[in-house]
Amino acid sequence: MNINNLSQFKKALTLGSVWETFYFDNAGAYASLGVRPVSIKQTNAVAFKTPSGTDSWLHYDKANMYSFNDGKVQVYTHRRRAGQDEKVLLLEYRLISK
């Protein structure tokens, strides 16, 4: 499935679909948070089941806080650095199976 915008991402987040999640730290290094199925879907958020059995939530932000390329959905956040606001990569999602 090709995901090119926030609307398509939300449609792809179906119950039981499996996604790999990556977390990016302040230095830009990343780590896989593992492969997780969607456990709860709401209009404003989605939850992924973690290995411990709890839910990890993603609350949808504005569309300009996402980028879509090469099958990856990247989620950004704002950080204040040296008196300036900057957009920083926080999470990346890759669809494993529907």
pLDDT tens figures, 68-94: 998 899 999 988 777 888 899 999 999
Continuous segment of H or E residues that includes residue 7: helix 6-12
**18 versus 1: which is more confidently predicted?**
18
Tens digit of each residue's pLDDT (9 = 90 or more) over 20-72: 999 999 877 899 999 999 999 999 999 999 999 999 999 999 999 999 998 89
Continuous segment of H or E residues that includes residue 12: helix 6-12
- Mean per-residue pLDDT of the chain: 93
B/e letters for 13-35, b = 16+ CB within 10 Å, e = fewer, are beeebebebbebeeeeeeeebee
Decide: helix, strand or coil at residue 14.
coil
pLDDT (0 to 100) of residue 14 = 97
pLDDT (0 to 100) of residue 93 = 97
pTM of the predicted protein model: 0.88
Q: Tokens standing for 96?
A: 């494993």
Q: How far is CA 59 from the centre of its chain?
A: 9
